[in-house]
Amino acid sequence: MKKDFLKWMSLQLIMLLVVCFATSAVWAEGTEQESTLAADEITASTNPVTCTYQTHIQDVGWQDWKSNGLSSGTSGESKRLEGIRIELDSQGYDLNVAYQTHIQNIGWEADAGRGWKSSGDMSGTEGWSYRLEGIQIKLTGNDADKFDIYYRVHAQNFGWLGWAKNGESAGTAGYGYRLEAIQVKVVSAGSAVPGSTDQPFRDANQTTTPIEDPVVDPPVVEPPIDVTVAVTGVNLNKNVINMAVGENVESLIATVLPNNATNKNISYSSGNQAVVQVDNSGKIQALAAGKCVITVTTADGNKQANCEVNVHQDKVTLADGIYTIKKPGTNGLIDVTGAGTANGTNVTVYQTSNTNNQQWRLENTGNGTIRLWAVCAPDKVLDVLRVSNAIKAFNTIDIWEANDPDCQYWYLTKLYNGAYAIRLNSNDSLAVSNNGRDADVYAGPFDATGSDVMWTFEAVPEPTPAPVERAAWIYNTGDVGNVNVRSGPGSQNPSIGGFNEGTQITVIGDLNGDWYQVRGTDRITGGQISGYTHKDYITFSQPSNPGPSFGIRTTAPESGNSHYYSRSNPFYPNISPPNCIGNCTWYAWGRISEIYGRQLPSGYFIHDAYTWWTDNKNGNFYNYGSTPRVGAIAVWGSSYFGAGHVAVVEKIENGKVYVSQSSYNTYLFKYAQLPSPEHLLGYIYVDQPK
């Protein structure tokens, strides 16, 4: 009986050993020995609060949900955890769970602006092939202090680390090691620790001591996994981006190939920093209109991928002025049909004609808007023709009086290629259906890269205004009595003629140094000359008494005055004082002799009065012109009483001309204002001999 009992006890002991050995398993990474999974699994607690969790595993995806300390992840497969979700069955307690992970290339989520996650939200990444390297988990809510949450991780090359709790860090830092599995458990506050809490977090920058596993199992040696996988390429999620200055920042996502490449570090660069900037996370920001290529480059192998970025900028400004508006790549300009001026005249694209119906005066109206006035119709602006009082796409473009801001106030969008779109606030743009001539212009939808809405502005040079011309007089010539006219502005230039004192001239434009450009009657030839005269001899105020200085004769000459009553006066033999009535030629001949002390040229100025004009011109004796001058002879033509008339200018005052004169068979002498200018041929300037 005793032998049977001993035999039975031995059999039970053997069976117990077999069961224990059969339930053992080994978790190991690299060459380090780890405890068996079964020995480390935590049995379900009687605590009513249940924590469930699932992990996203490299090449596997989301694993089934685990709870209450069961392992989620893999063992011996060298697969990284990429994401985790955690939920809590609070059983009526005011209790929740919050968690964040430390992600490859990102860091702790809260530090990177991604924030803590809770209630089943994913922490980590999906589709980016980024490993989890650490985790923090904590309880929240009014009942959080009644419970503790414990968790530990299985880390590459370390195996299972110690238990962390209530927000402590679990995992590694500075090693670049992946998490491969995790266990999480909620217990009542103050309950027994599930296992060793030694070094739940390994930091490469701090001295650490080896982990002492709570259970020592037979070693399991796995093949080495520290194998370098080279990068073979890189892709971007976008090849072309069209964006506007001021829009939300776009992001590029790079995928390094293969997925298990060892070094997935990358950098971004911009081909035109003035247009687009990019940071090392792939976020791009548009700064100005233009085109730019963003390049991503791998640290391993220098592999590259590119994305073209086209940037447009709204409400840019051009200076006020006159422009032609051209269809890029053609000779077609926006044209007012037939140079029309009426409301509703159609606008087309027509070949360049260098006429004002293809010119537009740009007016900045504020707030980035403009109006375009037709130069051929100065009171009309570029306009969208309403249809049933509505502004619609594909409405006709015309010119109309300025009375409809919604159809006539445009703004310019500068496009990536330097051209412009001409747009209304309704987002309709000036468009043309083809690039040929005779194409109607219409209101079309805006497309930042569409050729139909692209235009270039070419400034039309403003015509140079004609120089202002002013009347002036020669003065200050002293005893010389005249001044030179030179071919250029300076005394080094040759003289081409001259003006006498008191001569009225025309000044053209402003001073050129000390010289005026002038035009007037040459004192030598009597013809018109243009040149330059020094400013010191020009006045813009008409002299009160232009001409030579002498006493004004206001009474008849005395009978003993030899200038009139002697044989030196060729007309005297026909005058027999005191009973005679004089004539105009007798008096004028004597008065000139009296003023100047010299006689008129012999053989001339001895016939009827009107012949004196032609005698002077043919004999080329004196300058002449239409401007009155003191001491000049005023000459009327034959239409004036048949023989004409002559008189001598005595005074010019307040624009009025006073002469002394005689008239045959009418009066011997008269001092009076100039008779009627009708039939007046002009004035002979005796003080300006040629």
Among 544, 539, 546, residue whose Cα is nearest residue 654:
544
**Among 148-157, 459-468, 551-560, the range of highest mean pLDDT:** 148-157
**Could you give the C-alpha distances from 517 to 56, 478, 510, in angstroms and in order?**
92, 22, 8
| pLDDT (tens digit per residue) in 540-599 | 988 765 566 678 899 999 988 989 988 889 888 765 454 456 789 999 999 999 998 889
Q: Is the dihedral of CA 28, 29, 34, 39 positive or negative?
A: negative
Instruction: Please check whether residue 595 is in contact with residue 549, taking contact to mean a CB–CB distance below 8 angstroms.
Output: no
pLDDT grade, residue 190 (50/70/90)?
A: confident
pLDDT grade, residue 104 (50/70/90)?
A: very high
Give Rg (Cα) of the chain. Answer: 55
Helix (H, G, I), strand (E, B), or coil: what is residue 537?
A: helix
Tokens of 588: 């004028």
Task: Provide the 8-state DSSP code for 574.
Answer: G
Assigned CATH class of 233-314: mainly beta
CATH number of 317-459: 2.80.10.50
| pLDDT (tens digit per residue) in 647-686 | 999 998 888 899 999 998 888 999 999 887 888 999 999 9
**Segment 389-396 long-range contacts (CB within 8 Å, at least 24 positions apart):** 391/424, 391/426, 391/428, 391/443, 392/443, 393/428, 393/443, 393/444, 393/445, 394/442, 394/443, 394/444, 395/428, 395/442, 395/443, 396/346, 396/440, 396/441, 396/442
Rounded to the nearest 5°, which phi and psi values hold at 535? -60, -25
Please tell me the predicted confidence (pLDDT) of residue 446.
84
By mean pLDDT, which of 98-102, 386-390, 635-639 is the weakest?
386-390
Please tell me the predicted confidence (pLDDT) of residue 335.
93
Determine which helix (DSSP H) or strand (DSSP E) holds 627, and give its type and residue range.
none
Longest CA span, the chain:
203
CATH superfamily of the domain spanning 469-539: SH3 Domains (2.30.30.40)
**Could you give the C-alpha distances from 445 to 389, 415, 605, in angstroms and in order?**
19, 15, 86
Q: How is the chain split among helix, strand and coil, in percent rounded to 5?
A: 10, 40, 50
Q: How many CB atoms lie within 10 A of CB 169?
A: 17
| pLDDT (tens digit per residue) in 8-19 | 455 555 454 443
Instruction: Please check whether residue 142 is in contact with residue 111, taking contact to mean a CB–CB distance below 8 angstroms.
Output: no
By mean pLDDT, which of 399-403, 433-437, 621-625 is the weakest?
433-437
| pLDDT (tens digit per residue) in 74-91 | 988 999 999 999 999 888
Please tell me the predicted confidence (pLDDT) of residue 272.
95
State the Cα–Cα distance between residues 380 and 284, nearest whole angstrom: 44
In the chain, where are the structural domains located?
Answer: 37-203, 233-314, 317-459, 469-539, 572-689
Among 383, 432, 388, residue whose Cα is nearest residue 409:
383
Assigned CATH class of 572-689: alpha beta
Tokens of 472: 């002036």
| pLDDT (tens digit per residue) in 214-238 | 444 444 444 444 568 999 999 999 9
Instruction: Please check whether residue 397 is in contact with residue 385, taking contact to mean a CB–CB distance below 8 angstroms.
Output: yes
